[in-house]
Amino acid sequence: MKIFMHSTDKGIWETIENGPFIPQVKRDEVLIDKPSSEWTEVESKKAKFYWIAKNIITYVLSCDEFFRVSQCSSAKEMWDILELGSML
């Protein structure tokens, strides 16, 4: 699966390793999440990797594996749970 994600786009695997990309902007010396209406095309593409990664992971899972990760909030969390299960 890792090879497939890399071959599709390296950014997909980076999302799994690092968590989702959330564009931010500095306002009043504080970083806040940037409203999606203000995202650049590059930021939108990077943020979309999160959904692509989750889609790829859930698409290839059996029902039992899917239920193990269905409540995860990120592709990284899903991958970590699946990776732990493969070590048992």
Tell me the per-residue pLDDT of 39-88, one tens digit each, with 9 for 90 and over. Answer: 999 999 999 998 899 899 888 888 888 888 988 888 899 989 888 876 55
pLDDT at 60: 86
User: Where in the chain are the domains?
Assistant: 2-87
Count CB-CB contacts under 10 A for residue 54: 23
pLDDT at 3: 87
- CB burial string 2-16: b at 16+ within 10 A, e below: eeebeeeeebbbbbb
pLDDT at 87: 58
* Amino acid at site 55: N
pLDDT single digits (tens) 3-40: 888 888 999 999 989 888 899 999 999 999 999 999 99
